Amino acid sequence: MDPILWNDWHVVADATALQCDRPITTRLLGVPLTVSRDAQGAVHVVGTDGSPIVSDVRHGFVWACLGKPARPILSIAELAEPDRCVTTAGSFGVHVSAGRVIENFLDLGHLGHVHAGYLGQEPQTAVEPYEVARLPDGGVHASGCKVFQPVSSPTAQSGFVVEYQYKVERALTASLYKSSFSQPDRFDVIYLFAQPLDEEHAIAHVLEIFIDDGVSPAALRAFQQFIFLQDKPILENQIPKRLPIGQRMEMPVLADKTSVAYRRWLAELGVTYGTVGAHDGGLPA
Amino acid sequence: MILYDYPPLAECYAVRLLAALLDVPLEIRSLDYYPGREHETDEYLDIAPLGSVPALDTGTAVLGDWQAALIHLAAHHDATGQWLPLGDPDRLVAIHEWLAVARALAHSAGVARLHELIGQPAVIERCRTEAHRLLRHLERHLWFGERAGRRWLVEGEQPTIADIAVFVQVILCEEGGVSRLDYPAVRRWIDSVRGIRGFVVTSGVLPLDPTAPVHTLA
Ligand SMILES: [Fe+2]
């Protein structure tokens, strides 16, 4: 088993939606789990034999680690800002590897095609040059991306040029920072936690941390779900369903600079679960 | 008319699709069905006692059943009378029979899809087996129909609400792990429905001609 993902924390349920009388059965890296909340409100994650799994509740989600956590659950600075509207936006299953879900989230190139009229528009789908660098603790940081978005968020009253940043701090966690419509010098933040059910199935858990300009959590959820459901069929039609890394990495189009950096980083980390080509030797060029 | 809507649900899409085909404007009230369970709140149950989504407020009644909403739209807002031929008892009966098939598909293929999409509890393999049984029934009906010169589910030159009700279930079934690969006549019929003038898509549904401008109802 892939030691990187085995010893990492993964979101396995939306804690805000977990009710006492409705335990959730799910899987993590192929291992069946039950997530439940007892009458005292405490959350438990157990395997099929009832044995407890290392777990925690953080940022509105239930987290689990099948091995020994190599690092703590990541911290999210924006959650401490008082003027934020914070909501989990639902947990959606997709028939594709978790890495593919993260990669799609990072791909600026698809906005004008898949989310035309909202997060981009045709024919202006070309992506302006932007920077991709490594985060100090490892991971990928893309910054300086600029996209014209006709409807960037549920409260946007008009289109504007939105600045984007992406961070990939953990193998299957990505965050997106985009200029807020009401305060363009600050960022609305969206975290995506991809739970690997198995090598070709994932659940996309989303956390939204928006500047509170009167937007309701329900409106944030509805908008995010509408956008995600546009991605879903595109994601599920990808071949192969696992993320190609290593020498067999597909030739990505120019716009997918962040995606190349993401795949290269996974290959360096030694992530193999849910990928293809990792054992073909060498890192991607 | 007000439609209480949760866009990912096939049944909501059916009502939005027929309304678009009939050129009937709907005032959309988007519900936080998942994960917010807004349809289980007292406020919503006061509006729609069944707690079902969609619900259509016609101005005189709130219809909590999606097929009742289709019947209402066709009976009151279709001057041609093609979608629900009220004066033709044999075709009406056939339409009702297919509405029942659509319901059975909702309870099998639809449940499988919601299991995969939002983790709704389901006995997934039983759902898929049942969905394939229904798709085989649909395939046979359409295949023989093609040979008899019948293009739609129910005898006649024009599609009916039966086509809409079954279509919304079938077009989204692959998201539940129910493949349409083995049903060529079903795939041809799907293209016929997508080719109806005024057809609109929803998330997860592609237009017949991918180069044509997309009308999305959100
Ligand atoms: Fe997208």
ipTM score for this prediction: 0.83
Please name which of A101, A118, A119, A267 lies closest in space to residue A199, comparing C-alpha atoms: A101
Please name which of A264, A269, A268 lies closest in space to residue A243, comparing C-alpha atoms: A264
Residue B61, domain member (yes or no)? yes
Among residues B33, B54, B77, which one ends one of the domains? B77
Cα–Cα distance measured from residue A199 to residue A52, given in angstroms and rounded to the nearest whole number: 23
Cα–Cα distance measured from residue A272 to residue A196, given in angstroms and rounded to the nearest whole number: 12
Among residues B44, B77, B110, which one ends one of the domains? B77
B177 and B157 both lie in a single domain: yes
Going along chain A from its start, the domains and CATH numbers come out as 3-65 (2.20.25.680), 78-280 (3.90.380.10)
pLDDT, residue B218, reads 39
B65 and B100 both lie in a single domain: no
Q: Which residues in A114-134 are b (16+ Cβ under 10 Å) and which e?
A: bbbebbbbeeebebeebebee
Q: β-strands B2-5, B27-30: how paired?
A: parallel
Give the gap in angstroms from C-alpha B211 to the nearest C-alpha of chain A. Answer: 12
pLDDT, residue A5, reads 97
Query: How is residue A263 written in tokens?
Result: 């795949």
Residues of chain B with pLDDT under 50: 217-218
Contacts of B203 in chain A (CB under 8 A): 226, 229-230, 232-233
Residue B202 parent element (H or E): none
B105 and B129 both lie in a single domain: yes
Residue B208, domain member (yes or no)? no
pLDDT, residue B211, reads 60
Query: How is residue B42 written in tokens?
Result: 């007292």
Cα–Cα distance measured from residue A216 to residue A30, given in angstroms and rounded to the nearest whole number: 36
pLDDT, residue B215, reads 54
Residue B113, domain member (yes or no)? yes
B30 and B106 both lie in a single domain: no
Cα–Cα distance measured from residue A260 to residue B163, given in angstroms and rounded to the nearest whole number: 45
Cα–Cα distance measured from residue B44 to residue B31, given in angstroms and rounded to the nearest whole number: 9
pLDDT, residue A253, reads 55
Domain count, chain B: 2
Query: How is residue B37 written in tokens?
Result: 């369970």
Give the gap in angstroms from C-alpha B178 to the nearest C-alpha of chain A. Answer: 12
- Taking a C-beta distance cutoff of 8 angstroms, is the pair A36, A23 a contact? yes
Residue B205, domain member (yes or no)? no
pLDDT, residue B208, reads 80
In angstroms and rounded to an integer, the radius of gyration of the C-alpha atoms of chain B is: 17
Q: Which of A218, A226, A236 sits opposite B36 (nearest CB)?
A: A218
Residue B11, domain member (yes or no)? yes
What is the pTM for the complete model shown?
Answer: 0.90
Q: Quick one: DSSP state of residue B149?
A: T
Please name which of B122, B119, B18, B34 lies closest in space to residue B71, comparing C-alpha atoms: B18
Residue B100, domain member (yes or no)? yes
Chain B residues within 8 Å of chain A (Cβ atoms): 7-8, 30, 32, 34-36, 38, 115-119, 175, 177, 203-204, 206, 214, 216, 218
B98 and B138 both lie in a single domain: yes
- Taking a C-beta distance cutoff of 8 angstroms, is the pair A117, A227 a contact? no
Please name which of A30, A144, A162 lies closest in space to residue A98, comparing C-alpha atoms: A30
B65 and B133 both lie in a single domain: no
Which residues partner with A206 through β-bridges?
A: A192
B67 and B128 both lie in a single domain: no
B187 and B94 both lie in a single domain: yes
Give the confidence band of A281 by pLDDT, cuts at 50, 70, 90: very low
CATH number at residue B21: 3.40.30.10
Please name which of A81, A243, A93 lies closest in space to residue A168, comparing C-alpha atoms: A243
Instruction: Please report, for residues B16, B19, B25, B92, the alpha-carbon distance to residue B77 in angstroms, rounded to integers and kept in the order given.
Output: 14, 9, 11, 17
CATH number at residue B150: 1.20.1050.10
Inter-chain touch A236–B175, beta carbons under 8 Å: yes
Question: Which residue in this structure is represented by tokens 């050129």?
Answer: B23
Among residues B46, B77, B108, which one ends one of the domains? B77
B21 and B104 both lie in a single domain: no
Cα–Cα distance measured from residue A79 to residue A212, given in angstroms and rounded to the nearest whole number: 12
Is residue A255 over pLDDT 60? Answer: no
B67 and B124 both lie in a single domain: no
Mean pLDDT calculated for residue range A231-237: 90
B102 and B73 both lie in a single domain: no
Q: Domain range spanning residue B123?
A: 89-194
- Taking a C-beta distance cutoff of 8 angstroms, is the pair A272, A237 a contact? no
Mean pLDDT calculated for residue range A46-67: 97
- Residues A127-155 have pLDDT tens digits of 778 899 999 989 999 999 888 899 999 98
B67 and B163 both lie in a single domain: no
- Taking a C-beta distance cutoff of 8 angstroms, is the pair A45, A55 a contact? yes
Is residue A44 over pLDDT 70? Answer: yes
Q: Which of B30, B116, B203 sits opposite A229 (nearest CB)?
A: B203
Cα–Cα distance measured from residue B108 to residue A139, given in angstroms and rounded to the nearest whole number: 42
Q: Quick one: DSSP state of residue A69?
A: -
Please name which of B90, B88, B83, B89 lies closest in space to residue B69, comparing C-alpha atoms: B83
Residue B203, domain member (yes or no)? no
Cα–Cα distance measured from residue A248 to residue A14, given in angstroms and rounded to the nearest whole number: 35
Residue B207, domain member (yes or no)? no
